[in-house]
Each structure stands twice: as structure tokens, then as C-alpha cells.
Amino acid sequence: MPRTRRPAPGRGPQPPSALWPPGGRRRNHAVKREAVIRAAAQSFNERGYHNTSLDDIAAALGVTKPTVYYYVDNKEQLLFECFREGLERIRDAFRAVAQQPSSGRERLASVLRGYAEAIASEFGWCMVRAHDQDLSPQMARQIRELKSEIDQGLRRLIREGVEDGSIAPCDTKLTAFALAGALNWIAHWYREGQGMSPAEIGAAFMQVFEQGLRPRG
Amino acid sequence: MPRTRRPAPGRGPQPPSALWPPGGRRRNHAVKREAVIRAAAQSFNERGYHNTSLDDIAAALGVTKPTVYYYVDNKEQLLFECFREGLERIRDAFRAVAQQPSSGRERLASVLRGYAEAIASEFGWCMVRAHDQDLSPQMARQIRELKSEIDQGLRRLIREGVEDGSIAPCDTKLTAFALAGALNWIAHWYREGQGMSPAEIGAAFMQVFEQGLRPRG
């Protein structure tokens, strides 16, 4: 993209925003870019992707639209970055257990807690409810690859748990789909500060999958 | 809405469509309205709600746009009807077991099969992925009420299963959320004609929730 389409941030008449970090643009580029992505996630969450404009996001931050354009190319890229930010947190949860010597079931439980935290974050809505159709083919392909990696990761942990005897034999593919569905649905019902924490929900879901719907006895 | 905004269907130059029922408009009003809603569901599913126009839906049916307007007021109403059509199928599954003398667990299993069939239908995408923000406040409220009824219905069956001893004691609210999430997620991964039928998936999920992730023993 030519440099001329990305003007340096202007100093508009907007009020200062708690979301927007202070300081010069050179020093805080990464921090400010992250603030733009976070504000986009919150706006998409509240109004939906198609009902949110870059003006809305700039207003939430108390900056001008050219300032937003300085950090991202367009609204589509913001959706992509929100997707990626949330998915990266889930990948972090997988990385954290990769070298652990514990059973497959314990590692799966740990991943589910991190997964629940990612979905309950401000990026959860984008990960679950935003549509591939709104992304460029290249971005949609990248997102599909990341999602597939997570699906395969869940299946692998379940399979390893079955192999080490910590999980009863089961259909690993369907079990992974059921787990992912239950967790992803958190984005639809979770409200911050009401009831359980995301990590508690992850742990409780592990219980539901371990003990729920078994005949009493 | 004044009658003048709903012109009688024109006889355009479109090719005949397998989706569009033959015969006069008076005789087949309900059938044709259903065909419009079904075509809308398929188009939303393929392209997303915001990327679908009434022209696309008319073209899929091989009719003119005024014909589509004869059956529905606008695109928003089409989304609402798709929501409602899918949700009604889930309510049917609850109605079917309401008077059955079987255990809570057996009635829940039967509802899950019907739920899976509804989500795997062409209306599943609208139920799961379309956004309340795209509906009028009144429509969104109606949808929320129907969804809440289904959530309460799941909780009630789980509670009744716990009471009659067919389900082990559990957190009914979280278990209902986990079940709904697992089932709703079917809309994201299910492809017709590949692998299991929707009813088989519902039955398999019941197994996952009964036996999955238990330590082998």
C-alpha cells in the first residue's frame, strides 16, 4: 500500500481517551496499534462488524480517523487482527502444555481454561461470530489454517489422553467438536464481572464433560 | 405497510426455478412464502447476511424482486423468519417429548437429536451466526424470548433427569450452556451428505457428554 494512503496521525479536537496511550508515535507504535485493535474488538462486539465504522472506532479512542489508518489499512484488517489476537491466546495455551509431563487429560484441562479465557476476552466475539465472508480470501485462508491447527491440537490431546489411560476411549473428532462448540459458545452468553471467571468456566466445563449426563450411580 | 408497497408478483423474463412452486399465487401463498424464506436461508448461509441482496434471492428463485416483496416486507424480515423457522423445529422437539413418561435423560436425548437436525438444516446458519444487531428491537426481543425458552427447556430436562436419578447431579445452567454450544456449533462444521446424519450427531453428542473425558476405569 502506498505511503500516501497512510497519513501521519493528526491532532484532532477529540477529547483524551483512557484507551489511547500517551506519548510520541514512534516510541509507542506497537502499544497504540494494540489499542486500535482492542477498540475495534469492543465496537464490533457491541454493534456488529457491519454496523461499525472506522469513525466509531476513532471516536471511541478519542483520535482522528487518519490516526486509525496509520496503524491499519482498513476495517477488514482490523477484523483479521481481532481474530488473530484471540486465536493466538488459544495457541499460547497449547504451547504452555506442550512440554509438560502430565497426563493428556490434565493438559487438556489446562488448555480448556486458557481457551475459555480467550473466548471470554474482548476478542471472543470476533473469533466466534464474525464471518469469513467479510475477510479477503488470503486472510480467510490464514484464519482457517489457525482454526484447523487448534482443532487438531484438541484432537491430539484427547487421543494422547486415551492412549495414556487418563481419558476413556471416545470419538476424538466429535469430542473435539463438542468441546470447541461448548467453549466457543461462551462468547454468546458470558458477561464480564457476572458470576464465574473464564478460567472457572473452563474448569467447570471439564467437569461437565467428565461427569455430566452420566446416569447416577 | 400500505398495499401499494407490495405490488403483485410480476411475470419477469427469469428462467423457471426448481425452488419456485408452480401454480397461481392465491392457491400457493404459504408454500411460496416458505420457498422465499428457504432461498433466503441458503443465500445468507453461502454469502453472509450483509453480502446478500434481495436481488440475489429473487435470482436464486428465478422470480422478480417485486415477487419477493409480495411475500416479505424486507431483508430483515427474511432473517427473522429464518431464525424463527429454525427455532420452531427445536420447540417441536420439546413438544414431542412433553407428555412422554420416559426418564429425563431419555427425553433430553430425544430433544438433542431434534436440536441437531434443526441446526444442521438450512436455517442453522441464521440461528447461530446471524446477529441480533441486524434485527429490529422488536424482532430481536422475540428471538431472545424464544432462545431463552429453549435454554430453560434444556435446564428443565436436565433437572428432571437429576431428580428421577437418570442423570448424575450437575450444574444445570452450565450443562445446558455446554450442550447448546456443542449443538449450535454444528452449523459451523456440518456439511450435508458427508458422514453422519444430524440425528446421528445428536445421539453421538449425548454419548460424548455421558462418557467423554472420563478417566478410563
Inspect the interface and report whether the beta carbons of A216 and B167 lie closer than 8 Å: yes
Q: Which residue of B has its CA nearest to A180?
A: B182
B74 band by pLDDT with thresholds 50, 70 and 90: very high
Query: How far separated are the first and last CA of chain B, in Å rounded?
Result: 65
Residue A187 scores a pLDDT above 70: yes
Q: Decide if B172 touches A, using CB distance below 8 A.
A: no
Q: What is the pLDDT of residue B191?
A: 81
Reply yes or no on whether the pLDDT at B25 is more than 70: no
Decide if B212 and A184 are in contact by the 8 Å CB cutoff: no
Cβ-based contacts of A161 with chain B (< 8 Å):
213
- The verdict on B189 touching A (C-beta cutoff 8 Å) is yes
pLDDT of A13 reads 44
pLDDT score of B1 = 38
Q: What is the model's pLDDT at position B104? A: 93
Mean pLDDT of A41-62: 91
Is the pLDDT assigned to residue B111 strictly greater than 70?
A: yes
pLDDT in tens, A203-215: 888 888 777 666 6
Which residues 102-161 on chain B approach chain A with CB closer than 8 angstroms? 105, 108, 129, 131, 133-134, 158, 161
Determine, for residues B212 and A170 on separate chains, whether the beta-carbon distance falls below 8 Å. Answer: yes
Write the pLDDT tens digit of every residue in B135-172: 889 998 998 898 999 999 999 999 999 999 988 888 89
For residues A68 and A6, what is the distance between their CA atoms, to the nearest angstrom?
Answer: 9
Answer yes or no: do A214 and B215 touch at CB < 8 A.
no
Cell readout for B41 is 436461508
Tell me how far apart the alpha carbons of residues B147 and A18 are, in angstroms, rounded to a whole number: 36
Angstrom distance (rounded) from CA A80 to CA B22:
45
- pLDDT computed for residue A132 by the predictor: 72
CB contact under 8 A, B181 and A182: yes
The H or E element that residue A27 is part of is none
**What integer is the mean pLDDT of A149-165?**
94
Q: For A99-124, what is the mean pLDDT?
A: 91
Is B213 within 8 Å of A47 when comparing Cβ atoms? no
Instruction: Dump the DSSP string for chain B.
Output: --GGGSPPPP--SPPP-TTSPPS-TTTTHHHHHHHHHHHHHHHHHHH-STT--HHHHHHHHTS-HHHHHHH-S-HHHHHHHHHHHHHHHHHHHHHHHTT--S-HHHHHHHHHHHHHHHHHSTTHHHHHHS-GGGS-HHHHHHHHHHHHHHHHHHHHHHHHHHHTTSS----HHHHHHHHHHHHHTHHHH--TTSSS-HHHHHHHHHHHHHHTTPPP-
Q: Considering only A51-65, B70-84, B194-208, which range has the smallest mean pLDDT? A: B194-208
Q: Are B132 and B144 in contact (CB under 8 A)?
A: yes
Q: pLDDT band at residue B216, thresholds of 50, 70 and 90?
A: low
Arithmetic mean of pLDDT, A187-193: 83
**Model pTM score:** 0.80
Greater pLDDT, B18 or A174: A174
pLDDT at A149 over 90: yes
Mean of pLDDT over chain A: 84
Q: Is the pLDDT of residue B5 over 80?
A: no
Tell me what pLDDT residue B213 has: 65
Residues of B in contact with A134 (CB under 8 A): 48, 50-51
B178, A177: Cβ pair inside 8 Å? no
What pLDDT is stored for residue A181 in this prediction? 93
The chain-wide mean pLDDT, for chain B, equals 84
Looking at mean pLDDT, say which of A32-46, A184-198, B11-25, B188-202 comes out highest: A32-46
A82 pLDDT more than 90:
yes
- pLDDT at residue B7, rounded to an integer: 43
pLDDT at A61 over 90: yes
**In this predicted structure, what is the pLDDT of residue A152?**
96
Contacts of A180 in chain B (CB under 8 A): 185
Highest-confidence segment of A35-49, A120-134, B16-30, B200-214: A35-49
Q: What is the pLDDT of residues A159-185, one digit of tens each?
A: 999 999 988 888 899 899 999 999 999
Q: Does A186 touch chain B (CB under 8 A)?
A: yes
In chain B, what percentage of residues exceed pLDDT 70? 86
What distance in Å separates residue B157's CA from the closest CA in chain A? 11
- How high is the pLDDT of residue A161? 92
Residue A4 pLDDT exceeds 50:
no
The per-residue pLDDT for A16 is 52
pLDDT tier, A5 (very low <50, low <70, confident <90, very high otherwise): very low
Distance from CA of A214 to the nearest CA of B (A): 5
What letters, b where the CB count within 10 A reaches 16 and e where it falls short, cover A15-33?
Answer: eeeeebeeeeeeeeeeebe
Residues A106 and A112: their CA atoms lie apart, in Å, by 10
Say how far apart CA B45 and CA B129 lie, in whole Å: 9
